[in-house]
Structure 1
Amino acid sequence: MLKIFENWVDRYFSDEEALVLLLLLTVGVIAVMTMGQVLAPMIAAIVIAFLMQGMVARLRSWGAPHGLAVTIAFLVLVLSLVALLLLLLPILWTQLLRFFNELPRMIMEGQSALALLPEKYPRLISERQLEQLFSTMTTELSSLGQDVVSFSVANIPMLIGLLIYLILVPILVFFFLKDSSVIIAWGAKFLPNKRPMMSRVWQEMNQQFANYVRGKVIEILIVGVVSYVVFAFLGLNYAALLAIAVGLSVVIPYIGAAVVTLPVALVAYFQWGWSSEFIWLMLAYGVIQALDGNVLVPVLFSEAVNLHPVAIILAVLVFGGFWGFWGVFFAIPLATLVKAILYAWPIAVQESSLGIIQNSADNH
């Protein structure tokens, strides 16, 4: 058994490139698990730089110098952040306050509706079970209220840090856009001179990450805007708040759409009850989700490497558990990275073995 393990190690880890790649992956995982919060501004800046790189490339193709293209892209980013802070956030804050003000009424209506269940369906639920449910709900809501108060008081430093990030992240984005080639060339100096496996993985993942990040942000914007237009047209309360939740739900494949359906359905029910308006709203919401999954996603991610749904869900659970929001956001490209390495590593080992045999034959 030990001999088999030694042969396996000699086969896959005897090459300098393989050891360097293993070291880089190990350091990356440790850095994310131990300093994920500290590296959050850097990660956010890299993501935004990926988004803006397409604009820089397009401006350069039109004949603009690199410095001018970077400056224009940076100004677009700053103006977008200003518009977000001045236009969208006040609307969201207003609707959030309104939601918390109406939450007690919704809870009372929900309890009244649940109280009728033992009479209509005595075999499914009893009055004692209903009382236990109400007791549990009361405890959870009280705990939630305490958490909200403690959050608002204890997380003032986090809000100050958020303001710092609003200044720090755009500056990092500017330098990533301006000196991306310099940074990549500097990092390449520490890698082996001959690195066919790394080059193969880098070429694939560079395109995959860029396409995925841009495609995912475009999907969030389209789904969020369409949801807001539909919700506002039908007169649904908290249209902007729910539309943003629906837009962000596409970050988590399969699971996000299922989770966000609950608040949409509950708000519609407490507003209209079992009426035609409720049915029309849920039908429109179902059409949005169907078009997103069957039309928008194939168009935006047509060049992405296909992954099995089980692999996607597993990647969301694993990377989300390691890295929180960013792990969920990058679950698919990280799974693609693992897939690319698993495919490239044996090929590189085989090519290296063939090269050794060829050199031996030439010497003889």
Structure 2
Amino acid sequence: MRRQWWIVAAVVAVALWFFVSIEPVLAPFFVSMVLAYLGDPLADRLEDRGLSRRLAVTVVFVLLILVVVLTLVLVVPILGRQFGQLVEAFPAILNWIQQTVLPEVQSLTGLDLSTDFDALRQAVVENWKETSTIAATLLAQVSRSGLALVGWLANLALIPVVTFYLLLDWDVLVGKVRRMLPRQWEPAAVRLAGECDEVLSAFLRGQLIVMLCLGVIYGIGLTLLGVRFGLLIGLLAGLASIVPYLGVIVGIAVAGVVTFFQFHDWLMLVGVGVVFGFGQLMESVVLQPKLLGDKIGLHPVAVIFAVLAGGQLFGFTGVLLALPVAAMVMVILRYLLENYKNSTLYDAGQKTPQRSSVPSSDEETS
């Protein structure tokens, strides 16, 4: 039995080494896997309504393409324009902080922060200018390297192809993996897989929809208020909502600074608060109960740690996989904790033999 465990450990170690070695080429396959996982339930429902698997997958695939195309055509140009305007306005915002905010802070607290802020402002402006040219530099570099450009385009073209075939054979692949499991492990593995699927589906489908809805609510609300970069700030706040309360904190802070700098009116800050308050109300009353419930269970600190650790270990692929892997690890740890509490190791100290209340013959003699 111990030899079998060593064989399993060796196979897992070799598999991990192999995937780490080919990590640069895995990104399109992981993206395709996530898209196929998200689309499989809809394809199953269409199959239940009488469509063939191929036709159901085709319908889902077309819907995914329409969503991506509409996002690229309608949203990306607006965000690009607003980001460019933000780059242009950023030095003016820093000047306003230095000339208006810092004197107020000095009059209230007696602290002179102008010297430190001067150095900070200079460093930020220099780095901000460099950041704004990163995309152009990267594009020029890719253009100069024909092989890199071909590889990048090939990876991009792989995503729809791999997604289609994964969607087509998803249930078949799941069935084959299940039949490959050792028979004695199958019940526990199927149970864990079901719990992982519940957590992942709640996160990948539910949480992404919640983030998108919050971004739309924040973006539309700020745009109706007339706040510059309203859509950009709203969508960034929606993305930051992957960590509970982080989105609303980041959104209010950024939108408040931009709004006050734009209007110099404290009442407009009340409007910003109303927008984010309405978003939080919708999340608490409608979005979270309907889409998530209590299925995820990932602590905010665990979310932050997973994203940072995944990015540090495996780059962009690690960021993509961080939260799904963290959700599955949470399910496995919960299973191990349950087994540990049912083991003799956990309650061995509680099962000490009780001393008899009847005196022994030696005690009677003494």
Equivalent pair of 1:60/1:66 in contact (CA under 8 Å): yes
Does 2:168 correspond to 1:178?
yes
In the other structure, the counterpart of 1:78 is 65
Q: Residues of 1 paired with 2:244 and 2:309: CA distance? A: 14
Q: Give the C-alpha shift of residue 177 in structure 1.
A: 0.6
The structure 2 residue matched to 1:149, chosen from 133, 143, 146, is 133
Partner of 1:233: 224
- Equivalent of 1:95, from 67, 79, 82? 82
Find the counterpart in structure 2 of residue 113 from structure 1.
Answer: 100
The CA deviation at 1:220 is: 2.1
Question: Could you state the TM-score of these two structures normalised by the residue count of structure 1?
Answer: 0.78
1:178 CA displacement: 0.2
User: 2:261: which partner in 1?
Assistant: 270
Percent of aligned positions that are identical = 26
2:124 matched to 1:134? no
> Aligned-pair distance for 1:74?
0.7
Give the 3-state SS of the residue equivalent to 1:121 in structure 2: helix
Output the CA distance in 1 between the equivalents of 2:339 and 2:266.
63
Aligned alpha-carbon RMSD (Å): 3.4
Per-residue displacement from partner, 1:310-344 (whole Å, max 9, x unpaired)? 55555455445445566566655433322322343
Structure 2 match to 1:204: 195
Do 1:251 and 1:329's aligned partners in 2 also have CA atoms closer than 8 Å?
A: no
- Tell me the residue number matched to 1:6: none
Q: Match of 1:153, as an amino acid?
A: T
Tell whether the 8 Å contact from 2:38 to 2:204 is kept in structure 1 after alignment: yes
In 1, are the aligned partners of 2:29 and 2:159 still within 8 Å (CA)? yes
The total of aligned residue pairs comes to: 337
**Per-residue deviation at 1:200?**
2.0
Answer yes or no: is the 8 Å Cα contact 1:251–1:328 preserved in 2: no
For structure 1, which runs of at least 5 residues remain unmatched after alignment? 1-12, 354-364
Q: Given residue 244 of structure 1, which amino acid in structure 2 is its aligned partner?
A: L
Q: Does 1:44 find its partner at 2:31? A: yes
2:228 maps to 1:244: no
* Amino acid of the structure 1 residue aligned with 2:39: M
Structure 1 79/114 Cα, relative in aligned 2: closer, same or farther at 3 Å? Answer: same
Counterparts of 1:166 and 1:131 in 2: how far apart (Å)? 48
The 3-state SS of whatever aligns with 1:267 is: helix
Give me the whole-angstrom Cα distance separating, in 1, the residues matched to 2:227 and 2:23. 38
Look up the match of 2:270. Answer: 279
Q: Indicate which of 58, 61, 80 corresponds to 2:48.
A: 61
Greater Cα shift, 23-32 or 85-94: 23-32
Question: Is contact 2:43–2:60 with CA below 8 Å preserved after alignment?
Answer: yes
- Structure 2 portions without partners, runs of 5+: 143-147, 345-366
Q: For 1:252-300, what per-residue CA distance to the aligned partner results, in whole angstroms no more than 9, with x for missing partners?
A: 3344443343322221121122421122112321331354256422332
Pick aligned residue for 2:157 from 144, 164, 167: 167
Q: Is the 8 A contact 1:319 1:328 kept in 2?
A: yes
From the CA coordinates, give the structure whose radius of gyration is larger.
2
In the alignment, the residues of structure 2 paired with residue 307 and residue 15 of structure 1 have an alpha-carbon distance, to the nearest angstrom, of 35
Q: CA deviation at 1:75?
A: 0.8
In the TM superposition, what is the alpha-carbon distance from 1:213 to its structure 2 partner?
0.8
Alpha-carbon spacing, 1:260–1:233, altered in 2? closer, same or farther (3 Å): closer
Secondary structure, counterpart of 1:63 in structure 2: coil
2:297 is the alignment partner of 1:306: yes
Residues 85 and 336 (structure 1), Cα distance of their counterparts in 2 relative to 1, 3 Å cut: closer
Structure 1 residues 138 and 193: alpha-carbon distance in aligned structure 2, compared to 1, 3 A threshold: same
For 1:134 and 1:315, how far apart are their aligned partners in 2? 36
SS of equivalent residue, structure 2 residue 295: coil
Quickly say closer, same or farther: Cα 1:287–1:326, change in 2 above 3 A: farther
- Indicate how the Cα distance of structure 1 residues 265 and 328 shifts in structure 2: closer, same or farther if over 3 A, else same: farther
User: Which fold has the larger relative contact order, with Cα–Cα distance below 8 Å and residues 6 or more apart in sequence?
Assistant: 1
Corresponding residue for 2:347? none
Contact 1:249 1:256 in 2 (8 A): yes
Structure 1 match to 2:351 = none
Which residue number corresponds to residue 252 of structure 2?
261
Offset, 1:193 = 3.4
- With over 3 angstroms needed to count, the CA separation of the structure-2 counterparts of 1:91 and 1:60, relative to structure 1, is same
